[in-house]
Amino acid sequence: MEQSRWKGAVALVTGASSGIGRAVAKDLHSAGCKLAVCARRIERLDALKDELQGTHADFQGFQVDLRDTSSILAMFSKIRSQWGGVDILINSAGTGHMTSLIDGAEDDWRDIFDVNVLALSVCTREAVQDMLRRQTPGHIIHISSMSAHRVPKGAGMYAASKYAVRALTEGLRLELQEHHADIRISSVSPGTVETEFAERVTKSKDLATQIYSRFKTLQAEDIASTVHFILHAPQHMQLHDVLIRPTKQPS
């Protein structure tokens, strides 16, 4: 296998306890990155650490509830003291609720925006500060959604959060231009991927199984290989947003 340009770089993956984040973390580990991962379910991160071959000195798992900014900042501070700072940030953590715009609860709406928008922005700000300070040609990738490009019925608030991620991608690109920074920002916008996400949103195993049996879905590894491609494109090439649907997904 060709040596990755990112060998030895410091990568942080949010939401690595399952699904897309976990698959991306595994790929970055095989590319030779020093790997920091976070999620609430620390036992999942411990299991990932055990599963990955190689020296455990290059792995740090953080139990972080992304709705708590102080816990995000503590994680960045630990990464800086151990490894100097973050070179690659993959914002994969995300959440959703079945909630209506007509009679939904603010707690659900706040949860969606706290994780999908605010925490993503805090992590991005901190990573950009690390990259600017150390003058590293870093890369930030938001795991967005096809729901940043069209609004599925019943998912108005979730789609609003992902439309925000789309705006944040372009907003950061413009700010980085002003700074003449050699830092790239990209988004990946998947359609249905078979992960724990449908059960997280519907709170029902049966409904999740139904959702994933309508057509052949994408797998987390399909998204990880797209992230790999984006990261390994030449430095002068910035993939802005990659839209990926399962071939048989109608909407």
* Minimum CB distance to ligand NAP, residue 177 (Å): 26
Q: Which helix (H) or strand (E) holds 78?
A: helix 69-83
**Which member of 46, 65, 107, 170 binds ligand NAP (CB under 6 A)?**
65
Does 190 bind ligand NAP (CB under 6 A)? Our answer is yes
Backbone angles phi, psi at 36, to 5 degrees: -110, 135
Choices 64-72, 78-86, 168-176, 179-187; region in contact with ligand NAP by CB under 6 A: 64-72
The first and second tokens of residue 162, run together, are 């992902």
Over the window 125 to 164, marking each residue x when it contacts ligand NAP by CB under 6 A and - when it does not, the resulting string is ------------------x-x-------------------
Segment 44-63, which members bind ligand NAP (CB under 6 A)? Answer: 44
Sole residue written with tokens 């706290």: 114
Rounded Cα distance between 115 and 66, Å, is 6
Helix, strand, coil tally for the chain in percent (to 5): 50, 15, 35
Q: Do 143 and 91 form a contact (C-beta atoms < 8 A)?
A: yes
Of the candidates 92, 86, 37, 91, the one whose C-alpha atom is nearest the C-alpha of residue 64 is 37
CA dist., res. 101 & res. 155, Å (int): 9
Residue 158 among the catalytic residues: yes
Tokens 């410091």 -> residue: 10
99-107, 179-187, 188-196, 229-237 -> range binding ligand NAP (CB under 6 A): 188-196
Q: How far is CA 164 from the centre of its chain?
A: 14
User: Which residues, in sequence order, are CB contacts of 62 under 8 Å at separation 6+?
Assistant: 36, 37, 38, 45, 75, 78
Stretch that binds ligand NAP, among 52-60, 73-81, 126-134, 193-201 (CB under 6 A): 193-201
* Residue 147 identity (one-letter amino acid): S
Among 195, 208, 224, 228, interactor with ligand NAP by CB under 6 A: 195
* Closest separation in Å from C-beta 174 to ligand NAP: 23
Nearer residue to ligand NAP within complex by CB, 7 or 215: 215
* Active-site choice (109, 158, 163, 197): 158
Considering only the stretches 35-43, 77-85, 121-129, 171-179, report the one whose residues sit in contact with ligand NAP under the rule CB under 6 A: 35-43
Residues taking part in catalysis? 158
Using CB under 6 A, list all residues that contact ligand NAP. 15, 17-21, 39-41, 44, 64-67, 92-95, 115, 143, 145, 190, 192-193, 195-197, 200
